[in-house]
Amino acid sequence: MYPHERSLVQKLADKPFAIIGVNSDRDLEKIRETTKQKNISWRSFWNGPQGTGGPISTRWGVTGWPTIYIIDAEGKIRYKNARGPKMDEALTELLAEMGHEVDLTKHEDPGEAPKDDAKPNP
Amino acid sequence: MQMRWLLVLGCLLITACSNPGDETSQTPSSTPPQVASKTESPEATPAPEEKKTEPPKEEAKPEPKQEEAKPEPKQEEAKPEPKQEEAKPEPKQEEPKPEVTDATPAEQIKTIIAEYSKAQGSLMTEARKMPGNEGRDFYFANLPKLQQKCGADLNAVVAANADDPANFDAIMWITMNMAGSDTGTKAMDTLFEKYIENEQMVKLCAVMAQGRMPVKNPVAKFEQLIEKSPHDAVKASATMALAKTVKDETRAEELYESLIANYGDLRSQMTRGKTFKEAADNALFQLKYLSIGKIAPDIEGEDLDGVAFKLSDYRGKVVVLDFWGDW
């Protein structure tokens, strides 16, 4: 997921688009660190210390991870669990409805954040 | 990507033999059950219907489907699964013996299914060594042969021991693993003709409710079960499965309401240990508020830095709402 999502964030940076996560890790400190390391730049709700049993995922009836909803500009649920190329198609369609033409056929992963000790060769 | 389907398949194998009522296996934070294939009767675990993994390219394969609803391990987290001892090809000196055996039909059926699981494990081990999608293609090209052999062996035992109660397990295996084929269709017909009163039909409801078993007219099957089963657990499971299957939202709502009214306190494999009331309430909430076309319920919470925000703050944008975890 991450490479695809990172790529979407980059490609759609100037479009009315956002990835919103609901993170179900129990350990908040650890997941904060992970988001830095893995360059997860999009915003996430935290599902709380109960992890997958937390309030948001429970209310949304989520029993499998990842679960994905794609929501349009009006706030309407339009797709469930469309991933990979299907997600691209869905986003292309929904952005087109708003008059934005995008091409998501190719993805280049901007990659994870460089580690501190990764110095370029002299 | 190539790791992903293998992991999914790995999960399938594990699921096939794990306790079907074990709800913790639904959550990614649980410890994966250990090696899959040698345990007793494989039972399919019902799965959240929204979970879909990519189906195999070429043809619909019922068997992996019924379990594919496990939470998928993230690609990044891909770890090799514990190797299965059985996967090592052992030099066999003995030729397969003729079927003369003292084993009871039940034991024979168990052995045949165990052998299938073992062969499936070996096939997967072999497939995992291949690069790219080759392994996946190899796996799905060869799996039907194993299924056909297992189905034929099971049918032979069934034919030789007419009316043995253990036949049910054999016929159920064939029905769930070979759906869509002639053999599978015949087995399903037999189930409904001879075993419709069996309490284990709950299992079939749970798997069929996921909607990925290639069965003609599942609605009629569920209706038959509701009408003819003497067991509340089967009636309730079939009602739940029917509610998940029907396209008509109003009918689905009525079915869930009737579940709550008639079987509210009951628990079964279908509901993964929850009561039917809990499961139906959950399904009703999803139906009313989380179906395609509904306005997404707002989420109010805090981000990972403790800053409060709302999902509706993003109105006006296309939003990918991703329930994720890094495990």
- Contact: B324, A51; criterion CB under 8 Å: no
**What value does the mean pLDDT take over residues B53-57?**
37
ipTM exceeding 0.90, yes/no: yes
Band (pLDDT 50/70/90 cuts) for residue B133 is confident
Alpha carbon distances (Å) from B246 to A20, A29, B238? 31, 44, 12
From CA B242, how far away is CA B236, in angstroms rounded?
Answer: 10
What confidence score (pLDDT) does residue B212 get? 83
Answer whether residue A55 is part of any domain: yes
Answer whether residue B205 is part of any domain: no
Answer whether residue B246 is part of any domain: no
Range of the domain at A89: 2-97
Range of the domain at B174: 1-87+103-197
Answer whether residue A120 is part of any domain: no
User: Which of the pair, B309 or B4, is modelled with greater confidence?
Assistant: B309
CA distance B138 to chain A (A): 23
Whether residue B44 contacts residue B22, with contact meaning beta carbons closer than 8 Å, is answered with no
Answer whether residue B286 is part of any domain: no
Answer whether residue B123 is part of any domain: yes
Answer whether residue B285 is part of any domain: no
Judged against a pLDDT cut of 90, whether residue B85 lies above it is answered with no
Answer whether residue A82 is part of any domain: yes
Encoded amino acid at B172, one letter:
M
CA distance A122 to chain B (A): 30
The mean pLDDT values, 10 residues at a time, for chain A of 122 residues are 90 96 95 92 94 89 90 96 93 96 85 62 52
User: What is residue A97's three-state secondary structure?
Assistant: helix
- Contact: B29, A72; criterion CB under 8 Å: no
Band (pLDDT 50/70/90 cuts) for residue B102 is confident
Q: How far apart are the first and last CA of chain B?
A: 17
Answer whether residue A110 is part of any domain: no
Judged against a pLDDT cut of 50, whether residue B20 lies above it is answered with no
Whether residue B302 contacts residue B309, with contact meaning beta carbons closer than 8 Å, is answered with yes
Judged against a pLDDT cut of 60, whether residue B223 lies above it is answered with yes
From CA B292, how far away is CA A90, in angstroms rounded?
Answer: 13
Answer whether residue A105 is part of any domain: no
Count CB neighbours of B59 within 10 A.
Answer: 12
What confidence score (pLDDT) does residue B130 get? 92
Q: Find the DSSP H helices in chain B.
A: 2-17, 62-67, 105-128, 134-160, 167-177, 182-194, 201-208, 218-228, 232-245, 249-263, 276-289
Q: In A, which residues are within 8 Å of B292 by CB distance? A: 77-80
User: Which of the pair, B110 or B31, is modelled with greater confidence?
Assistant: B110
Nearest to B41 by CA among B174, B169, B177: B169
How many domains, chain A? 1
Q: Looking at the partner chain, which of B291, B301, B320 has a beta carbon nearest the beta carbon of A45?
A: B301
From CA A85, how far away is CA A96, in angstroms rounded?
Answer: 16
Q: In B, which residues are within 8 Å of A74 by CB distance? A: 295, 315
User: How much of chain B, in percent, has pLDDT values that exceed 90?
Assistant: 59
**What value does the mean pLDDT take over residues B80-91?**
41
Answer whether residue B295 is part of any domain: no
**What value does the mean pLDDT take over residues B90-119?**
77
The answer, for A45 touching chain B at a CB cutoff of 8 Å, is yes
CATH code, domain with A88: 3.40.30.10
Answer whether residue B326 is part of any domain: no
The answer, for A88 touching chain B at a CB cutoff of 8 Å, is no
How many domains, chain B? 1
Answer whether residue B78 is part of any domain: yes
Q: Looking at the partner chain, which of B292, B312, B324 has a beta carbon nearest the beta carbon of A66?
A: B324
